[in-house]
Amino acid sequence: MSHLKKITLKHVLIVLVGGIFLAWDLYQANSSAFTYAYQPSFPATSKAGTMLQTTVAIVRSDDSALPNPTPVTDANISYATIEQMVRRSVALAGGFTGVIASGDTVLIKPNIVQQDSSGSGGVTDVRVVKALVKMIDEIDHGHIHIIVGDGSPRPFTTFERIAGPGRRAWTQLYDVPGYQILKTEMLAAGIDFRISNLNGNSDTNPWPELQFVQVPGGGEAQPQGGAYYVHQDVVNANVFITVPVMKIHEPGITAALKNQIGIASSSRYGFSKTAGVPQNSYQTRLRHLEEAPYNWTDKEIVDLCLIGKIKFVVVDAIACLETQKSPVPSGVPSNQIVNQVRMNTVLAGKDPVAVDHVCALLMGLNPDDVEHITLAERRGLGTNNPNLISIAGASIESARKRFKKNQTASGVYGQGNREWTLNGPFPIGAISDPINYEFIQNEASVAPIPGNAGWSQRRYFINDRIALKDYYNLGSDQVVSYAFTYFFAPTACTAELWIGSDEALKVFLNGTQVYNFNAIRTFANSDYFSEIVQINLTQGVNRLLVKSLQRSGRYDFSVNICDVESNAVYRGNRIWGLKFSADATTLSVGTRQSSPPQAFELLECYPNPFNGALHIPFRIAGNSNVDLAIYNVVGQRIRTLVRENLDAQTRSVVWNGTNDLGREVASGLYFVIMRSGERTQARKVVYVR
């Protein structure tokens, strides 16, 4: 059977402006229609390349380095303090040297989703943008073209032709939070400044201002065909600076990456952007969850980030929102907004993925649970690796507050494992109890190598629901199949297995059955899990096998491994540092720390592969209890090399390929793991006898 399903789901009509014939990057189109073949999974490879060390600055209003510090609980924080916070955070993140030059056009993209006042948490606080504009102009006063622009889905224009209740002219989106006043002030100060509606500034004919732009390297959101309508100000800007307000939202969080949805022009995609506009029969729109259970929202975010190349991020975390992106209730004074979280914090950095990683941590979330963060890293937009993220200013621990999650299923669930190797499908024929029949001998104990013995190569599935019916191109076939992955657990602990399916399912952890469902249930389009059960993890590498039955259902499942949490408003965070991979030899070992690695670092081991002696250099901070040991691929500790309190310096130990009993180990892959407190680092090494 083919492993890729070639099914036409629907046609997207394309209006071609000016008679230009458009070439799509990944798919074929003609002047009237666009057809795509849905692909549920891809080879588990990454376009990320080599990730570099980066810095994210966290500046709180009580920072003693500020001339006018104020408590982080101060709801009346002054503009003077906010400007000082913006200046300090930008400087700590490396500043604008090499980013902005005289004569550049700089586009600043705030988050102005609706008519909310600055300081509500619903829109980017205009005072943060004001401070940023002043800083940029100071590089060469009057000789840098500064644009503040957003493509809100909420304006009413003559072009839209639908005067819905509560709609306002698009200019009022900028009036209410104070951006029109900002424009007056900046022009009076001699700054080259303007405001742009990224939907098009013409009230009646905005389309000539838009360009149809290909996603570099191809798009992730398959229905969009690898190209988007964006405003010419996005295309022509030399420097793109995103200035989001930090919030909880359905796709996990709103921060640097999610803010890019605002560059998709609503005059093409609709008001809202999943609606389309009557000028082309509502055919051009963002798909989001329209094709449920397939979720395109995070893919669209990453596509638009690839188009609008972010050079710098400044995050407004003065007043933030939990549970949803809009104030509850809306239109009330900021001190009466029930979902507002007072942070009085500004973040800055050059790497948008790293900034979002830190924002997630500040809100008490696991960045690995936010698809647009992990997908953006896969596409090379930045790093989600805490070992490569240096924190300047305040520590994450001092600034962190636990935000309540959005209580939709997607907001609670986080992100399940997407990477698997699969075996099957096996027809069940006349077998009366197929879920309990071993189609693979000794199924519980398998530890497959991808691409061998009937197992597929590593596959990366594009959704939390692993679509086996699509993957195997099945019709009404009655089958059983297996999905397998390894995962690294930084500590031995009790965890929650979040599991979903609509038919029979078995789960084995390290050879032991931990879950068995042998019936039929509802696993609706909006669901991400059916049950939560407790399991016990082994420190190190673990094996996870899912056995799935199809008789008449849709044939998909979902799996995540989360912290034990009794409070529903916080539940669903994946175990911090837990990493999945279908191939143990490529396992990305996690870490439970987000500190700069200079004070705690397991350095490159050499020679690797080795035979005889492996040199293991490491450095630590002063007076640390250090545990350094060798583990095999199933997570067993086989040799302890260091277990003592050490003072600060760079050290080295040698492993000679023997276990704690002095016996030589077998050839193969091993993990060198160093721990100190909650900090963990690991290296992969290969021993050759």
Supply the DSSP string of 47-66, one letter for each residue.
Answer: -------EEEEEEETT-TTS
Instruction: Tell me the C-alpha distance between 399 and 418, whole Å.
Output: 31
588 vs 354, higher pLDDT: 354
Instruction: Tell me the C-alpha distance between 40 and 470, whole Å.
Output: 6
Please state, as a whole number, how many other Cβ atoms lie within 10 Å of the Cβ of residue 658. Answer: 13
End-to-end CA distance of the chain: 40
Handedness of CA 656, 658, 660, 661 (dihedral sign): negative
Helix axes 179-188, 126-137, angle to 10 degrees: 20
Instruction: Tell me the C-alpha distance between 79 and 586, whole Å.
Output: 49
**At 471, is the secondary structure helix, strand, or coil?**
helix
Phi then psi dihedrals of residue 647, to 5 deg? -90, 175
Beta partners for 561? 497
Strands 389-393 and 54-60: parallel
Q: What is the mean pLDDT of residues 6-10?
A: 31
For residue 587, pLDDT over 80 is answered with no
Instruction: Tell me the C-alpha distance between 100 and 427, whole Å.
Output: 62
For residue 320, pLDDT over 80 is answered with yes
Q: What is the pLDDT of residue 204?
A: 82
Region of poorest pLDDT, from 34-43, 84-93, 656-665: 34-43
Q: What is the mean pLDDT of residues 634-649?
A: 86
Handedness of CA 34, 37, 39, 45 (dihedral sign): negative
8 Å CB contact between 352 and 305: yes
Q: What is the pLDDT of residue 170?
A: 52
Q: What is the pLDDT of residue 517?
A: 97
Structure pTM?
0.81
pLDDT digits (tens, 9 = 90+) for 461-484: 999 999 999 999 999 999 999 999
Please state, as a whole number, how many other Cβ atoms lie within 10 Å of the Cβ of residue 654. Answer: 10
204 vs 244, higher pLDDT: 244
Q: SS3 sequence, 5-30?
A: CCCEEEECCCCCHHHCCCCCCCCCEC
8 Å CB contact between 572 and 414: yes
Beta partners for 96? none
Of 144, 307, 154, give the one whose Cα is nearest residue 234: 307
Per-residue tokens: 569: 């408003």
How far is residue 442 CA from its own chain's centroid? Answer: 37
Q: For residue 321, name the pLDDT band (cuts at 50, 70, 90).
A: very high
For residue 38, pLDDT over 60 is answered with yes
Q: What is the pLDDT of residue 625?
A: 85
Of 85, 159, 99, give the one whose Cα is nearest residue 128: 85
Q: Of all helices (H) and strands (E), which one includes residue 237?
A: none
Strands 239-243 and 389-393: unpaired
Q: For residue 590, name the pLDDT band (cuts at 50, 70, 90).
A: very low
Q: What is the mean pLDDT of residues 301-308?
A: 97
Q: What is the pLDDT of residue 34?
A: 47
pLDDT digits (tens, 9 = 90+) for 160-191: 655 344 455 555 667 778 898 999 999 999 99
Residue linked to tokens 């980017």: 124
CA angle 491/495/497 to nearest 5° reads 135
Q: For residue 41, name the pLDDT band (cuts at 50, 70, 90).
A: confident
Instruction: Tell me the C-alpha distance between 559 and 552, whole Å.
Output: 21
For residue 664, pLDDT over 60 is answered with yes
Q: What is the mean pLDDT of residues 507-525?
A: 93
Per-residue tokens: 252: 């996990």
Q: What is the pLDDT of residue 137?
A: 98
Q: Could you tell me what percent of the chain has a pLDDT over 70?
A: 89
**At 288, is the secondary structure helix, strand, or coil?**
coil
Instruction: Tell me the C-alpha distance between 337 and 245, whole Å.
Output: 15
Exposed (0-12), middle (13-18) or buried (19+): which is 430, by Cβ within 10 Å?
Answer: exposed
Q: What is the pLDDT of residue 331?
A: 67
For residue 597, pLDDT over 70 is answered with no
Please state, as a whole number, how many other Cβ atoms lie within 10 Å of the Cβ of residue 161. Answer: 10
- Share the mean pLDDT of the chain: 87
For residue 10, pLDDT over 90 is answered with no
Per-residue tokens: 560: 């995540």
Per-residue tokens: 542: 């673990």
Instruction: Tell me the C-alpha distance between 227 and 29, whole Å.
Output: 12
Task: Collect all residues with Cβ–Cβ distance below 8 Å to 487 and sequence separation of at least 6.
Answer: 417, 541, 542, 544, 561, 578, 579, 580, 581
552 Rama class: left (phi>0) / alpha (psi -120 to 50) / beta: alpha
Q: What is the pLDDT of residue 189?
A: 98
Q: What is the mean pLDDT of residues 414-437?
A: 96
Q: For residue 117, name the pLDDT band (cuts at 50, 70, 90).
A: confident
pLDDT digits (tens, 9 = 90+) for 187-212: 999 999 999 999 998 888 899 999 99
Instruction: Tell me the C-alpha distance between 405 and 97, whole Å.
Output: 38
Instruction: Tell me the C-alpha distance between 578 and 563, whole Å.
Output: 10
Torsion of CA 534, 535, 536, 538, to 10 degrees: -140
Instruction: Tell me the C-alpha distance between 359 and 246, whole Å.
Output: 7
Q: For residue 4, name the pLDDT band (cuts at 50, 70, 90).
A: very low
CA angle 383/387/392 to nearest 5° reads 85
CA angle 621/623/624 to nearest 5° reads 70
Q: What is the pLDDT of residue 583?
A: 84
Region of poorest pLDDT, from 53-57, 154-158, 167-171, 408-412: 167-171
